[in-house]
Amino acid sequence: MSLYLPHFNLQNYNTLASPVCADFFVSVKDEAELMAALKFAKENNLPLLVLGGGSNIVLHDDFPGLAIHIQFMGKELVREDAEHVYIKAAAGENWSDFVDYCLDEQSWGLENLSLIPGNVGAAPIQNIGAYGVELKDVFSELTALEIKSGLSITFTAETCQFGYRDSVFKNALKDQFIITSVTFKLTKTPALKIHYPALRDALTNVSADKITPELVSQIVCDIRRSKLPDPKTIPNVGSFFKNPIVNTTTLAAIQQAFPNVVAYPVDENSVKLAAGWLIDRAGWKGFSQGAAVHEQQALVLTNPNRLRGSAVLEVAELIKASVLTKFGVELEQEPRNYP
């Protein structure tokens, strides 16, 4: 039987180390415990806060409800064919550890997504991505519990409606489901994706026959560690803003004043701007006011003083206003605010 802890400090359950409290807290290890927690919340008229690794949330104030920490664990090979293996991971598995597990199993496709913080269950919600690969590229299906009915439902890539850092779980089905497992479609033969500029540059002097998934993973980890602070040392949620997508007309206008603006093609009519570049050129790198802007990567907001998330949001709003004024581009926050 799960233990419901009152007035529980969530500082150790979010990577911003925001010291807010939930009215109640419970950890659940299987579907039966999750169903019991949902019943407890319903009977006591409590709103829900579902926690995994806590790496994509900003807890800016105390939460007047039940925080449910998903600790479903387990990994298994569910099927395979001539070219692919399908590996299911429970929602509570640490993402970075799962990537390492797949590399050890010689199941390829996740190497570009190495060292991303958080747990498996949150990965599809955000359609996490890095270095030219998104979760949707290696996705097979997921199971999720519908909060209202208690039914377990399977979602395909199509029904997840994946977009750039987006899915149906952030839109039409927001707060209606709790993901319990994700199945990945990985390859038996390496199919390396090394076109992303930082990866390509790092591999310039490496002969093609020496480039392996393990090497790509190692380089991705090295790049991430050089740019991004470890949340255990300096609290953060990784990239705080999405890279904004603008049309080519907007890009041309920006290029008139800033010819070296960093942009990547999306399609023939739109490009993705580097949010970190915009923030850096607006003068925010290294800024500190309670919360701070990381000195190595302006896209990362940190909480070195372990203040409530409201301190981070104050800095984020200053940055958004500044970038809008300077470039005419509106930044969109990646992590979700609670409550």
Give catalytic residues, as residue numbers: 165, 239, 334
Return the ∠ at Cα 111 (arms to 76 and 230), rounded to 5°.
Answer: 100
Return the ∠ at Cα 150 (arms to 149 and 154), rounded to 5°.
Answer: 100
